[in-house]
Amino acid sequence: MAEGPKKERLARRKARKRALDVLFEADLRDLPPGQVLLTYLDRIARPHPEHLEYSKTLIDGVAKNLDRIDELIASYAEGWTIDRMPTVDRNLARIAVYELLYEADVDDPVAITEAVELAKEMSTDDSPRFLNGLLDRIAAFATR
């Protein structure tokens, strides 16, 4: 793999992780993601890393489209309600669904794989399989 694409992929993964941090905190504290983002930006070192722009895109995109994203997650999460999902899983799903629906430069398999990989690092043993199935079903719907 060429250095450029690998570097870009790693930057996007960091961006997703940062977006997850902000969305997770906003979800737990029942605050608007934009408000949490502002305090988050104040806490991290300057100059801010370049990948932070994509984090902001994800956070703003999820916040702006939250009702539609949550509607899809609720519709395709077999046997689960959004409120019953672990907070990490719920927000990983939100990021991935945002990318599936609104980020044309992110291939569906990449959005799904990234969510699954972050779930392996940060959530329960069952989370990667759950998210993979959920996101596969949503991706199939989105490409119809």
Which region holds residue 132: left if phi is over 0, alpha if psi is between -120 and 50, else beta?
alpha
Say whether pLDDT at 122 is over 90: yes
pLDDT digits (tens, 9 = 90+) for 47-90: 778 889 999 999 999 999 999 999 999 999 988 899 999 999 99
Say whether pLDDT at 46 is over 80: no
Domains of the chain: 3-142 (1.10.940.10)
The arithmetic mean of pLDDT across residues 6-22, rounded, is 91
Say whether pLDDT at 1 is over 50: no
Say whether pLDDT at 13 is over 50: yes
The arithmetic mean of pLDDT across residues 85-107, rounded, is 96
The separation between CA 61 and the C-alpha centre of its own chain, rounded to angstroms, equals: 10
Residue corresponding to tokens 């991706």: 139
For the entire predicted model, the pTM comes to 0.93
Whether a cis peptide bond, with omega within 30° of 0, leads into 47 is yes
